């Protein structure tokens, strides 16, 4: 009988140790699928490293160091015994040992490419650092990291040109070549990129892969990884790298060099204590940094990223002695192709505890309230989508529960759920915990997923006046479309009171929607995302989480906390004048499109043309012309954000050049809302053409509409019949009236845009700050 222990060689190694095994090249058989990781996979990998470095900073004497270790899965390898099977082949360039990659090629390939980017960045930064004390220590540390990184993406043959070869190639496509051209022998995108990085490293030049491959999956992922690494490099600047990317969690930031040097041991970061270097870098945070200090900070931050990736992330490598055994294991590990989520492993524990400690799960009230969670996730079939929903749901629930910032890793989520649930010692406590989870699931289905095509108001708000019902729904859609997911952590708390039928809870929920919407809008119209989520975490951790106050929620406390957050000295936007100083320049289309859309609705709501200032609006009588309605947010009549002066000056419209010289074309004062069809037609024409289009939209008299055709001809403006049809079918057009009153001879210039921007800011502040009082 075969000895089972002899059938599989299993080792668990850090990434650095795995790739540093000498003379091994990795070979992907042709039958394996092509490289297919997408942006979501890249984001998860990079976020895992970000969170890991953050975990290193939060360790103390009571935290076991193993908690910072991140397991990156299992790699299945089989050593190729028949070297002639490696095809095509240059036998002079074969590594000493070639391992077939049965499972794990996506991870191996991506980590190898990420190491190329890290090598390139460290190599480029270290060139700017002087070779003198105390910075000579940086050169020594950089040399050590470069040595580790090059081992990850290359195998050293000690012969050929260059002597190093890509560490991984694809069978029947790529060839390890002794001295051949990279473009002739490395035909897969992954191997070609690795070969390019090897050439750049050898020549000490910047990495510049073949531009002809820009549209490949590999190059898309390279760009995405570079975006994340830019966050690493610039962490010391405390700036949001991509404020326009509303899909990403704004709180995923990388620690600064100052934080890293204060917490990560010098032994881990750069082998031994370097007090003078450390002091010099930290000094830059206490005074204005010079270029060398900035680049030094970037290097420290890159070192910390490399340290965690190479020394704290690990694989389990399984090497069956026979290839057949490898495929048996591969099929077993991927029988369903759908990885479990933390929630799917949590429910069996709930059932087990109910069966052993309570009166059983089947048919119990606990099972009934768990159904809402099952319904939410039961409709999601795609594994990737289910994983994303699980992450968003659990991170929201953890913040609402106790202000906890839950990581997205499966293990962290599972540990937290298990710890929280097992801490519930009685059936009533366990039922309450599941009820809270259930209420969040109901909130997800009824509020976050609200569809104005199915209803005009949110379920549960029927007891409040119609205008408040519609406004609450509008606020929710705006916050969700803006990607402000943290808002749901506090709003779901108020909605839970609605589900529990607490008297007055519907009106309270509407107030909460208005309060959070006002706070978010005022913040993001003047500031980037940085620090925004922490305001909610602090609020929930200290005052309003389930653990702190249960079902006793105080709307006045919510308003006070958010007003205080605006007033903090480092933000200084708590008064209208201070806020306007920033909003007049920051409230722009290229900063936040959805916020601009909302601001335009707020300033169209019950406003009239200002007769003293053509082109501007002013506040009219309440109820005159409401725009803050749920239907308006998704209406095709208002969905397109129109730049009155187009985004490019290269048109035949003779627009004021100063608009573009000072980038006023992106300001809120240059924007309005139009139907999608009209924006296409009127997008890049001169003022006179746009004015005629706008008149079609604003005019309701059929006789005057017919006369406009002649007027268009007078001004040599050709209007397409499809455009005219779209204009006449638009229902919501009152907001365009102030622009029409500017007239055909009006001047849409930089000065008018500035005035309109200020008027919009005045109305926006006055209306929204009132929601915070």
For 668-706, the pLDDT digits (tens) are: 999 999 886 555 555 556 788 788 888 877 777 777 777
Tokens of 314: 């690990």
List own/partner pairs for 355-358 with CB under 8 A and 24 or more apart. Answer: 357/427, 358/427, 358/430
Between helix 365-378 and helix 383-402 the angle, nearest 10°, is: 130
The predicted pLDDT at position 461 comes to 96
The predicted pLDDT at position 335 comes to 47
Arithmetic mean of pLDDT, 495-523: 98
- In which band, very low, low, confident or very high, does the pLDDT at 653 lie, cut at 50, 70 and 90? low
User: Is 244's pLDDT higher than 50?
Assistant: no
Arithmetic mean of pLDDT, 82-108: 90
User: Is 52's pLDDT higher than 80?
Assistant: yes
First CA to last CA across the chain, in angstroms? 79
The predicted pLDDT at position 503 comes to 96
**Cβ 470 vs Cβ 630: under 8 Å:** yes
Rounded CA-CA distance 288/278 in Å is: 16
Q: Of the ranges 510-524, 551-565, 721-735, which one carries the lowest mean pLDDT score?
A: 721-735
191 φψ region: left (φ > 0), alpha (ψ -120 to 50), beta (else)? alpha
Rounded CA-CA distance 471/630 in Å is: 6
Rounded CA-CA distance 246/479 in Å is: 11
Rounded CA-CA distance 218/236 in Å is: 29
Q: Which residues is 70 bridged to in the sheet?
A: 313
716 φψ region: left (φ > 0), alpha (ψ -120 to 50), beta (else)? left
Rounded CA-CA distance 674/163 in Å is: 61
DSSP result, 469-509 = HHHHHHHHHHHHHTT-TTHHHHHHHHHHHHHTT-TTHHHHH
Q: Of the ranges 27-41, 668-682, 736-750, which one carries the lowest mean pLDDT score?
A: 668-682
CA-nearest of 30, 76, 86 to 322 is: 76
User: pLDDT over 90 for what percent of the chain?
Assistant: 61
Q: How many CB atoms lie within 10 A of CB 303?
A: 24
Most confident of 116-125, 361-370, 643-652: 116-125
User: Is 329's pLDDT higher than 70?
Assistant: no
What are the start-end ranges of the H helices in 587-656? Answer: 593-604, 630-634
Rounded CA-CA distance 331/327 in Å is: 6
What are the start-end ranges of the H helices in 359-409? Answer: 365-378, 383-402
pTM of the model: 0.70
User: Is 179's pLDDT higher than 80?
Assistant: yes
The predicted pLDDT at position 62 comes to 46
Tokens of 251: 């709180």
The predicted pLDDT at position 716 comes to 72
- Phi and psi for 454 in degrees, rounded to 5? -95, -30
What are the start-end ranges of the H helices in 156-265? Answer: 182-185, 189-203, 217-233, 257-263
User: pLDDT over 70 for what percent of the chain?
Assistant: 90
The predicted pLDDT at position 212 comes to 55
User: Is 468's pLDDT higher than 90?
Assistant: yes
Q: Of the ranges 221-235, 342-356, 748-762, which one carries the lowest mean pLDDT score?
A: 342-356
Q: Of the ranges 1-5, 136-140, 245-249, 385-389, which one carries the lowest mean pLDDT score?
A: 245-249
């Amino acid at each position: 009988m075969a000895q089972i222990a002899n059938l599989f060689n299993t080792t668990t190694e850090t990434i650095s140790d795995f790739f540093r095994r000498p003379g091994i090249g990795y070979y992907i058989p042709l039958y394996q699928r092509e490289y297919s990781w997408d942006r979501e996979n890249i984001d998860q990998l990079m976020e895992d490293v970000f969170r890991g470095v953050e975990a290193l900073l939060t360790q103390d004497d009571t935290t076991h160091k193993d908690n910072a270790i991140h397991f990156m899965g299992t790699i299945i390898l089989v050593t190729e015994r028949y070297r002639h099977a490696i095809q095509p082949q240059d036998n002079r360039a074969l590594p000493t040992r070639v391992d077939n990659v049965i499972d794990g090629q996506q991870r191996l390939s991506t980590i190898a490419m990420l190491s190329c980017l890290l090598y390139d960045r460290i190599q480029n930064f270290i060139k700017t650092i002087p070779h003198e004390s105390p910075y000579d220590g940086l050169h020594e540390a950089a040399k050590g990291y470069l040595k580790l990184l090059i081992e990850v993406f290359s195998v050293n043959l000690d012969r050929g040109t260059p002597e190093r070869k890509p560490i991984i190639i694809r069978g029947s496509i790529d060839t390890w070549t002794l001295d051949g051209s990279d473009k002739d022998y490395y035909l897969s995108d992954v191997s070609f990129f690795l070969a390019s990085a090897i050439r750049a490293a050898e020549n000490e030049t910047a990495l510049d892969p073949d531009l002809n491959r820009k549209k490949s999956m590999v190059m898309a992922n390279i760009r995405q990884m570079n975006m994340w690494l830019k966050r690493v490099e610039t962490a010391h600047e405390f700036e949001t790298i991509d404020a326009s990317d509303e899909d990403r969690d704004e709180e995923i930031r990388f620690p600064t060099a100052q934080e890293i040097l204060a917490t990560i041991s010098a032994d881990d970061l750069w082998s031994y204590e370097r007090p003078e270097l450390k002091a010099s870098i930290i000094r830059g945070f206490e005074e204005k940094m010079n270029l060398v200090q900035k680049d030094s900070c970037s290097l420290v931050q890159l070192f910390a990223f490399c340290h965690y990736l190479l020394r704290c992330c690990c694989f389990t490598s399984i090497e069956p002695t026979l290839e057949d055994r490898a495929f048996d294991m591969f099929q077993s590990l991927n029988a369903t192709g759908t990885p479990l989520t933390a929630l799917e492993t949590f429910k069996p524990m709930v059932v087990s505890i109910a069966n052993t400690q309570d009166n059983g799960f089947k048919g119990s009230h606990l099972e009934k309230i768990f159904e809402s969670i099952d319904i939410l996730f039961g409709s999601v079939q795609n594994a990737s989508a289910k994983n994303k929903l699980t992450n968003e749901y659990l991170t929201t629930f953890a913040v609402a529960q106790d202000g906890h910032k839950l990581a997205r890793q499966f293990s962290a989520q599972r540990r937290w759920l298990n710890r929280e649930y097992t801490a519930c010692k009685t059936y009533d406590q366990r039922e309450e915990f599941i009820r809270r989870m259930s209420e969040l699931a109901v909130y997800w289905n009824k509020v976050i997923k609200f569809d104005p095509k199915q209803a005009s108001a949110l379920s549960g708000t029927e007891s409040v006046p119609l205008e408040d019902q519609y406004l609450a729904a509008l606020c929710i859609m705006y916050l969700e479309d803006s990607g402000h997911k943290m808002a749901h952590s506090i709003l779901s708390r108020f909605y839970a009171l609605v589900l529990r039928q607490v008297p007055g809870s519907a009106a309270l929920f509407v107030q909460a929607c208005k309060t959070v919407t006002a706070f978010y809008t005022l913040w993001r119209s003047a500031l980037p995302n940085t620090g925004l989520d922490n305001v909610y975490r602090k609020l929930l951790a200290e005052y309003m989480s389930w653990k702190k106050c249960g079902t006793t929620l105080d709307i006045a406390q919510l308003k006070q906390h958010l007003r205080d957050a605006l007033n903090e000295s480092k933000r200084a936007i708590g008064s209208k004048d201070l806020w306007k100083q920033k909003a007049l320049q920051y409230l722009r289309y290229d900063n936040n499109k959805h916020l601009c859309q909302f601001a335009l609705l707020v300033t169209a709501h019950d406003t009239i043309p200002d007769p003293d200032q053509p082109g501007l609006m002013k506040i009219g009588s309440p109820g005159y012309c409401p725009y803050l309605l749920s239907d308006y947010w998704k209406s095709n009549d208002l969905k397109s954000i129109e730049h009155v002066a187009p985004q490019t000056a290269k048109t035949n419209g003779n627009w004021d050049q100063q608009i573009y010289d000072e980038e006023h074309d992106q300001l809120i004062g240059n924007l309005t809302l139009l139907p999608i069809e009209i924006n296409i037609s009127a997008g890049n024409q001169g003022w006179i053409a746009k004015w005629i289009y706008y008149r079609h939209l604003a005019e309701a008299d059929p006789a005057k509409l017919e006369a406009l055709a002649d007027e268009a001809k007078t001004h040599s403006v050709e209007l397409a019949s499809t455009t005219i049809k779209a204009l006449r079918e638009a229902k919501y057009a009152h907001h365009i009236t102030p622009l029409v009153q500017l007239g055909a001879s009006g001047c849409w210039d930089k000065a008018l845009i500035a005035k309109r921007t200020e008027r919009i800011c005045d109305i926006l502040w006055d209306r929204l700050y009132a929601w915070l009082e």
